Amino acid sequence: MAGLEVKASRLWRTLEIIGGLIVIATATVVLADPQFAVTTLVIVIAAGLVVGGLFRIGVGVSAIVLPPTLRTLNTAGGIIAVVLGITALLDLQAGVATLITILALALLIVGAFEIGVGVARHPPPWLRVSIAAIGAVTVILAGIVILDASIGEGILAAILALALLLVGVRNLVHGITLCPVGCSGLSDSLVL
């Protein structure tokens, strides 16, 4: 395996820091009122499905320049999106439970990738250990949500927000500690 020298530009570092702060702010809002945050998110996603579905139906019905297969796929996909969106709007509890499960699965994957990044050769050692530890905690928290959905949606949302908060802190710390292009001293090295 060959080592690859990776140096982050100031723009990349800035984006990682801003992204970390946004993730931390979002997680803080969810921790403050998990039920409101999750319900609002379900409503926004469901409304987006309805609007996007109606657009897809419109494309499928009216876009005569498209081949029949694409028109059919657009129409069918649009109908499915509208039905799912309306169903979620009519039964917000089911929408919330489904969304929390999907988010838990996504955070499980994110945590696994964080562990992978942490065990890769990535100086300094304290950052590598921190990234792997945050990944492990994220996997554990997401796993709890997936395995025991009976502990309540508010608690589940708070656990997911905590995992999200850890990811945001990781991004913030990583963005601050990355060596910018042209700096002297330590730089990020990844083994490919």
**Taking a C-beta distance cutoff of 8 angstroms, is the pair 100, 42 a contact?**
no
pTM metric for this prediction: 0.55
| Cα within 13 Å of Cα(39), Cβ side | 10
Instruction: Give residue-wise pLDDT tens across range 4-63.
Output: 444 567 787 788 888 888 888 888 887 888 777 778 878 888 888 898 889 889 888 888
What does pLDDT average to over the chain?
78
Q: What is the pLDDT of residue 141?
A: 83
Query: What is the Cα Rg of the chain in Å?
Result: 21
pLDDT band at 185 (very low <50, low <70, confident <90, very high): very low
In which band, very low, low, confident or very high, does the pLDDT at 167 lie, cut at 50, 70 and 90?
confident
pLDDT tens digits along 79-129: 998 998 899 889 888 887 887 788 788 888 888 888 887 887 666 888 888
In this prediction, residue 179 carries a pLDDT of: 56
Residue 178's pLDDT band, with cuts at 50, 70 and 90, is low
Q: Identify the residue with better confidence: 171 or 51.
A: 51
Q: What was the pLDDT predicted at 108?
A: 87
Do the beta carbons of residue 99 and residue 86 sit within 8 Å? no
Report the pLDDT value the prediction gives residue 79, as an integer from 0 to 100.
94
User: CB-based contacts of 34: which residues, under 8 Å, 6+ apart?
Assistant: 153, 154, 155, 156, 157, 158, 161
Helix (H) or strand (E) holding 36: helix 34-62
Check: CB of residue 42 under 8 Å from CB of residue 95.
Answer: yes
Which residue(s) pair with 3 in the sheet?
191
Interacting residues of 148 by C-beta distance below 8 A, sequence separation 6+: none
Q: Which residues pair with 8 in a beta bridge?
A: 180
Is residue 34 within 8 A of residue 161, CB to CB? The reply is: yes
DSSP secondary structure of 85-153: HHHHHH-HHHHHHHHHHHHHHHHHHHHHHHHHHHHSS-SSHHHHHHHHHHHHHHHHHHHHHHH-GGG-H
Count other Cβ atoms within 10 Å, centred on residue 94. 12
